[in-house]
Amino acid sequence: MLTSKQRAILRKEANTLIPVFQIGKGEIDDALVKATNDCLAARELIKLKVLENSEYSTKEAAALLAEKTNSDSVQVIGGKFVLYKQKDKESKYADMIKIRK
């Protein structure tokens, strides 16, 4: 679990991120979970967008994907949310926020 200071650092880093996925009418299914995990493995910190026609609120989508990908929900704002999943001890963000596994 991230502290408020760690979340603040990651939120700042996420400001310039472009959403990697848009969640629309469809379910948050295994394919979306796998694609999200793949992006988290490559980038650690990702932003996603929930469209207005989605079955999920942004907060619901963030919580569900964070749970299914074993990641941390960093921020939910408007129709976008940010997820973080540390790759390894040497990761850029882990050093920045001083997380060690």
Q: Which domain covers residue 47, as residue numbers? A: 4-89
Is the model's pLDDT at 100 over the cut of 60? no
CATH of the domain at 55: 3.30.110.60
**19-50: pLDDT as tens digits:** 998 999 888 999 999 999 999 999 999 999 99
Q: How many domains in the chain?
A: 1
Name which residue leads in pLDDT, 99 or 84.
84
In a domain, 95, yes or no: no
Residue 93's pLDDT is what?
82
Other C-beta atoms closer than 10 Å to the C-beta of 49 total: 18
Task: Give me the chain's average pLDDT, please.
Answer: 91
Other C-beta atoms closer than 10 Å to the C-beta of 55 total: 13
In a domain, 34, yes or no: yes
In a domain, 81, yes or no: yes
Q: Is this structure's pTM higher than 0.85?
A: yes
In a domain, 39, yes or no: yes
In a domain, 47, yes or no: yes
Show Cβ contacts of residue 30 under 8 Å, excluding neighbours closer than 6 positions.
none
In a domain, 14, yes or no: yes
